[in-house]
Structure 1
């Protein structure tokens, strides 16, 4: 494992300890509503502080973009992208699908990634050019051809209700051609599962950088493809993402694109 990944793993496990410490006491937590259907708890904040502390000890000059703390200025050639608890709503309801997501971008290119599910004790890691791993075992995307018999992941645009009708049209375009569609509520884990071959493809509207920075590198290092709704490498800017192996990626784009509103085509 790359030394930088070791630091990220240490940070993710520190956050995981915080998350597990409170997972049976969520009724006692202070919870805020940041915006429509977007919650933050003291666990999110405490877990994020644990991550930042570990990173700053090892790399005091690096910059950080974290979901709860925002941007911490530093050397912009090295930027950490952090989601301390992806799947907060799941966590607050006792639904065990959530994870810590940490990625390092070097000159805007993702080079190291960690996604850690503390409840299931699953650790996904990747470094650029060195493959993707689950608990030290190499993982690969599936070899599915087309959409027949595939299991596809997705996310509802619950923070962007203006896109709901458009999303439903894409859902209807994909649904008849696959064996199943799953919406589990944690995009970081969806992308990690895609990298591990548990899902064949994935699409979602309106994600943030911290939702997908680590997962995107995992998908690529597992042999998959990821892009925006035009197939370009602009998903971190647009927040709109499609992913899968080479064939599934192409077919999903073909099914989705005719149903997009003009603003989602950009």
Structure 2
């Protein structure tokens, strides 16, 4: 029986999560990348297992892995693989990480999975609905802004600075009156917006076909979140970036704060 794309994404993310969980706490070799960035043996092994899983089921599809780059491809479909989002967290024995797998079919990314290796949760979407899978089955995701928690990505690069800097939002009195900031330094927090555990998520950057963000964005869209660029523009246009909110009110409030709305120099 042919496995569906969404079940394949879930299975691949689960396989990667098994590796990440099994290697946690070990003294792992690091491999330097650009700047201060690095990968560990766990990143490489998780990516290898994920790609093997995808290749076994969809041998004609292309795969873009964070560590291995692009390979294969004759179908017009591309799997985007982030085997360990939160490598620095993981390297210092912090369990806030994610394993992300997403499928771009043509111009759209709809099928995706984002696994939390340590909570044993897999957030996934088939493009129509968004769910979390645990040992007790699947539960539909329901965004909510009730927590008032807004997560930020404060890692460089910051292509829109000084016109937009997420850190400026943190110090704005209007933000402090309405919200509370969080920085978990993994795109698991994007999935948490879809799940109602965060009110919003903000990051700068150019994110089209990003192995880090594709899964979370697909989850949020399927769950009914408001998903735009940092200035409220259509995603992947203008200044880029990402502002995803649980509802229209939260999205509008964040846009109205000067750090986001007041510097719309690109529109």
TM exceeding 0.5 = yes
Alpha-carbon distance, 1:238 to partner: 6.0
8 Å contact kept, 1:166–1:259:
no
After TM superposition, the score normalised by the length of structure 2 is 0.86
Alpha-carbon distance, 1:237 to partner: 9.0
Alpha-carbon distance, 1:127 to partner: 1.3
5+ residue gaps, structure 1: none
Query: Measured at CA, do residues 153 and 70 of structure 1 come closer, stay the same or move farther in structure 2, by a change above 3 Å?
Result: same
1:257 maps to which of 237, 241, 260:
260
Query: Measured at CA, do residues 31 and 217 of structure 1 come closer, stay the same or move farther in structure 2, by a change above 3 Å?
Result: same
Q: Deviations over 1:29-72 (max 9, x none)?
A: 11023123322111111111111111011111111121111122
5+ residue gaps, structure 2: none
Q: Deviations over 1:173-207 (max 9, x none)?
A: 353233411000102x1111111100111101126
Give the total of aligned pairs.
Answer: 256
Once the two structures are superposed, the pairs formed by residues 1-266 of structure 1 within 5 Å of their partners are 3-25=4-26, 27=27, 29-75=28-74, 77-135=76-134, 136-142=138-144, 150-160=148-158, 163=161, 166-173=165-172, 175-187=175-187, 189-206=188-205, 208=207, 209-235=210-236, 240-244=241-245, 245-255=247-257, 256-258=259-261, 260=263, 262=265, 265=266
Alpha-carbon distance, 1:155 to partner: 1.2
Could you say which structure has the higher helix fraction? 1
CA distance in 2, matches of 1:60, 1:88: 28
8 Å contact kept, 1:225–1:249:
yes
Query: Measured at CA, do residues 45 and 260 of structure 1 come closer, stay the same or move farther in structure 2, by a change above 3 Å?
Result: farther
After TM superposition, the score normalised by the length of structure 1 is 0.87
CA distance in 2, matches of 1:116, 1:178: 30
